[in-house]
Chain A
Amino acid sequence: MTTYVYGIASSSHPSLPDGMEGIGKPACAVRILKQGELAAIVSDAPEDLKPKRRDLLAHQNVLSEAGAAGSVLPMRFGSLAPDDETVVSVLGERADHYTERLRTLDGKVEYNVKASHNEQAVLHQVLAENPELRAMVEANQRQGGGSHEQKLQLGEAVTSAVRAREASDAVEVRRALEPTAESVAEGPEGTGWLANISFLVSRKSAEGFVAAVEELRTTQPHLELKVHGPLPPYSFVDPGPAEPAA
């Protein structure tokens, strides 16, 4: 019987989601495997497990439930052990490492911020900052939009200005929010946002982080910010991708 692993917590975690509905249809019940100071949050795994929406949601729900009450190391989706004994032996072998990570991440949650441009607003902004571009737009507007050539020329210049804003705004988002976070990790690339950044935030200072986001919204109205959190610290379980906040 394959064992699906959701995450690792301390065995003294006050409220492990024992019996909660996990992945699979019908849902497999969540179980807790303990070994010394550590506990693994697991369930049976359905055969032919695939990353279906329902299962991703179940993975996330189990971890949110556990994470609301105490520190949890979230596993990446889809981690399967051949059996419970393998999970228990992994907990035993690497107890020091996981205990250290749990201690480091105790009381901290991840907030993921994705930023994109409001197109109208950013166009107004680049035109306001660039008289040459504005002159081109005005010339085209006078000619009922301009010729194909003129449109291409204008479009290329505007695109280049907007891309420059994307780069500088990505830096700005990080700069604005970094001081309220303990650690920062760039999100996976290729998702199409001008910035996709995860911040490790102490629960105690979560209000400060949220206030910094609101401030950024106010001062940079051309930015559209999507904030997700508090999340289990997916981006901070391994020291690898994270780096200390400045």
Chain B
Amino acid sequence: MTVVPAQQSGGGGGTSGLYDVVELILDRGLVIDAFIRVSLVGIEILKVDVRVVVASVDTYLRFAEACNRLDLETGQKKDPGVPDLLGEITESGAKGKSKGALSGAAETISDAFKQSREEGERQSEERPRARRSTTSRRKEEKE
């Protein structure tokens, strides 16, 4: 197996990695009609983050407020967004390291790079820390 350099920076797999590819596990993959499939009705893990911008009054007001807070002068002089992104790389880099590897076998890049602060907050609301660490601990123990 080729070792891809970026795997080092991406951190381990962990359950957040699973969370991000769960739609592939549930919605892609080989289906054989001679087999049956378990019901996927009502599973909470399918709950999706809706991050794409939706046209609504709430969005309009949120964007208007965000624009009002923008510093247009610095925004034009500097490369847009770069200072913010650098801050986030440092932040999520540390997060990635603390997550720990899933297992030697799962060579998964879980790349939390450049994750926005807001997104991080939202995710931690949806996936309580306790649950995540329970799963990874369980993994380490290999019960």
Contacts and interface: CB of A to CB of B under 8 A. Distances in A.
A28 interface: no
A137 B18 contact: no
Given A75-B29, A137-B72, A198-B24, A151 B61 contact: yes
B84 A152 contact: no
Nearest to A136: B67
Contacts, number: 285
A61 B105 contact: yes
A135 to B, nearest CB: 10
Contact of A234 (B25, B52, B60, B138): B25
A226 B51 CA distance: 14
A166 B30 CA distance: 31
A238 interface: yes
Given A8-B30, A151-B64, A155-B64, A60 B107 contact: no
B38 A141 contact: no
B21 A145 contact: no
Interface of B: 1-2, 4-6, 10, 15, 17-18, 20-32, 34-40, 43, 45, 48-53, 55, 57, 59-68, 70, 72, 75-76, 79-82, 84-85, 88, 102-103, 105-116, 118-119, 131, 135, 138-139, 142-143
Interface of A: 5, 7-8, 21, 26-27, 49-51, 53-54, 56-57, 59-61, 64-65, 68-69, 73-81, 86, 90, 94, 110, 112, 114, 116-125, 127-128, 134, 137-138, 140-141, 145-146, 150-152, 154-156, 158-160, 162-163, 166, 185, 187-188, 190-194, 196, 198, 203-204, 206-207, 210, 213-214, 217, 221-222, 224-232, 234-235, 237-238, 241
